[in-house]
Amino acid sequence: MAGENEEHTGDNEDMVSKADLDEALTRNETLEKDLEDVRMEVLTPAYQRFLDSDGKTPEKTPDEKIPDASIPDDKFEKMTKKEIFDLAVTTAEERINGTLTQREQQSKELSKAKTQREVAAFAKTHEDYETFRPIMYGISLDPKHADKSLAQLYEAAKTHVKSIHSEPSDAEKEKSRNSVNEKPGGDASSLAKLKSMDNTAIANEAAAEVEEKLGPIPTQ
């Protein structure tokens, strides 16, 4: 450029025409733009990895989900329209899925944190929460209780426990009394039945059972 200026300036070295200046500035701007384009092409991370991998296809990093970014233009030129379309669809799907997964993850974390806060608040206001917690969990597993709130589950657990600890019936009391001592040969109810039978009746009952199992009495 210096030589060129010298050639134009001639008599007055310090003077340059306005047209020449504008032309030079325009050319300078164009060259700078070209240089930047070349620099961007050469220094992209993908291109650097491509160079580092000695010409092999660079491995994709997790954050690099845009396949076309690593595909050089000449490769696009070799692809059919259908292949380009498929690539575009795949890329779009991956991007969408990635975004959705990320949002889902965030949503889960938020939901979990919210639930933990709710449970902690509930536990603070209900001293016997830990006592009923396993029963509440058991009730919540039933699909028909799936939508119940913590308070509803807590009430359901208390009702359940109350039903278990209700006053025993006369039959249960009788069974319990019979169970105080060891009752061989069956449960207390079968003992009560056997106690009301005489020995011949018991023997006949036993004989019927044996006959059912082994058939009629053999003679040999």
Which residues bind to other proteins, rule: CB under 8 A? 180-186, 191, 194-195, 199-200, 202-207, 209-210, 213-220
CB nearer to other proteins: pick between 121 and 202: 202
Specify whether the CB–CB gap between 105 and 134 falls below 8 A: no
The least distance separating other proteins from the CB of residue 174, rounded to whole angstroms, comes to 16
CB nearer to other proteins: pick between 125 and 220: 220
Q: Which amino acid is at 37?
A: D
CB nearer to other proteins: pick between 115 and 204: 204
CB nearer to other proteins: pick between 143 and 218: 218
CB nearer to other proteins: pick between 20 and 205: 205
* Cβ-based neighbour number of residue 152 at 10 Å: 14
Specify whether the CB–CB gap between 46 and 40 falls below 8 A: no
**Residue 28 tokens, joined:** 């300078």
Specify whether the CB–CB gap between 41 and 47 falls below 8 A: yes
Specify whether the CB–CB gap between 139 and 156 falls below 8 A: yes
The least distance separating other proteins from the CB of residue 171, rounded to whole angstroms, comes to 19
- What is the distance between the alpha carbons of residues 29 and 43, in angstroms, rounded to a whole number? 21
- What is the distance between the alpha carbons of residues 167 and 44, in angstroms, rounded to a whole number? 80
The least distance separating other proteins from the CB of residue 165, rounded to whole angstroms, comes to 25
From the list 154, 159, 160, 161, the residue with the least C-alpha distance to 125 is 154
The least distance separating other proteins from the CB of residue 209, rounded to whole angstroms, comes to 6
The least distance separating other proteins from the CB of residue 181, rounded to whole angstroms, comes to 6
